[in-house]
Amino acid sequence: MTRPTVLFVCVHNAGRSQMAAGFLQHLAGDRVDVLSAGSAPADQINPTAIEAMAEVGIDIAGEQPKVLTTESVQASDVVITMGCGDACPFYPGKRYEDWKLDDPAGQGIEAVRPIRDEIRSRVEALIASLG
């Protein structure tokens, strides 16, 4: 079987989707191809998201927000959206999930930690569902 490709999408591709991609890469390794993008990408990754991930040993500091393209959606088996709503293109035959998560933008580390931990538990469930 080929490796599944998972695309995480949020508006700015600076917090939630980057943390989710970091967890999936870390926990699944080379069993899954991981993409992330935003419908309106920010200039840089949220520094508090970087700090929160560093606390659990995952470095996302080298990542850059990327723009969501139809090609990235078409290349993906699973598309996880996080608050981007209608900005995310829909293609039949893809598995879609919408994760309702608070946006870490502008939040302090105390507020971002529970978001990070919720993302980790959802990524662990996602990995289990991928087999």
Q: What residues are labeled active site?
A: 10, 84, 88
**SS3 call for 27:** helix
Distance CA 77, CA 11 (A): 20
Q: State both tokens at 98.
A: 């919408």
**Backbone conformation region of residue 69, classed left if phi is above 0, alpha if psi is from -120 to 50, else beta:** beta
- Where helices occur in 9-64 by DSSP H, the ranges are 16-28, 47-54
Taking CA atoms, 119 is separated from 12, 32, 53, 54, in Å, by: 16, 17, 11, 15
